[in-house]
Chains A and B, each alone.
Chain A
Amino acid sequence: AQSVAQPEDQVNVAEGNPLTVKCTYSVSGNPYLFWYVQYPNRGLQFLLKYITGDNLVKGSYGFEAEFNKSQTSFHLKKPSALVSDSALYFCAVRPSYNTDKLIFGTGTRLQVFP
């Protein structure tokens, strides 16, 4: 079955430290991969995507993600965390080119402490 896993329900990091939010996927073919962020009582906001090309993609608010085909992972990273980065983060995958839908992970809550 096609799926997306976010193995950590919560990630805690001190402000100024690097952060990583993990995502692994299980789909056939060449997936499209996305990261979204959700602030309290708001809808999801698109952060970045990987379709093809360079394995390191850069997105909004200083976030980046690294696509690793051999490990079927697409981890979200930021070199220096801010308190304002505290939010719920979702990884999503579009399984193949001829699929109209996204499969979302269950979300990881990022808490950045001052």
Chain B
Amino acid sequence: NAGVTQTPKFRVLKTGQSMTLLCAQDMNHEYMYWYRQDPGMGLRLIHYSVGEGTTAKGEVPDGYNVSRLKKQNFLLGLESAAPSQTSVYFCASNKTPGYGQFFGPGTRLTVL
């Protein structure tokens, strides 16, 4: 099992550009999450999904959109990137919220 994978690992964008981060899991998990990690702020939840075709807002959803068209994939989109979105983005999944979450290796995004 590959677990949770994220594509790409690194990306540099210019302000106003758009991009999509892909998260894939092969554990048949229902729940998937997107977090951003910033120094001194821990992990903050951007959006999450409780199953295929569902999405919900987390703590910091503004400027991001998500889609869960297939159970194994959870996409995070930035329509118009801003420097404040420079961060490390982590995807996670789990079977149910009572279980520990499995994290991907992260995507380091820099917006110039």
- Residues of A bordering B, CB below 8 Å: 9, 32, 34, 36, 41-46, 49, 51, 90, 94, 99-102, 104-107
Q: Among residues 38 to 76 in chain B, which have CB atoms less than 8 Å away from a CB atom of chain A?
A: 40-45, 48, 50, 56, 58
Assess whether A90 is in contact with B100, with CB atoms less than 8 Å apart: no
7 CB-based A-B contacts, threshold 8 Å: A43-B4, A43-B104, A94-B97, A100-B48, A102-B45, A102-B101, A104-B43
Which size bracket describes the interface of B in this complex?
A: 20 to 34
B105 an interface residue at 8 Å Cβ cutoff?
yes
How many angstroms between the C-alpha atoms of A41 and B10 in the bound complex? 12
A-B contacts, CB under 8 A, total: 55
16 A-B pairs besides A49-B99, A104-B42 with CB distance below 8 A are A9-B40, A36-B100, A36-B103, A41-B106, A44-B43, A45-B103, A90-B43, A94-B98, A100-B31, A100-B50, A100-B56, A100-B97, A101-B48, A104-B44, A105-B42, A106-B41
Give chain A nearest CB distance to B53 CB in angstroms: 15
In the assembled complex, the CB of A58 is this many whole angstroms from the nearest CB of chain B, namely 14
- Interchain CA distance A101-B31 in the complex, whole Å: 10
Alpha-carbon gap, A9 to B58, bound state (A)? 25
A106 touches B42 (CB 8 A): yes
Residue on A nearest B45 in the bound complex, by CB = A101
CB distance from B66 to the nearest CB of A (A): 14
Inter-chain CA distance A36–B56, complex, in Å, is: 24
B36 to chain A, nearest CB (A): 11
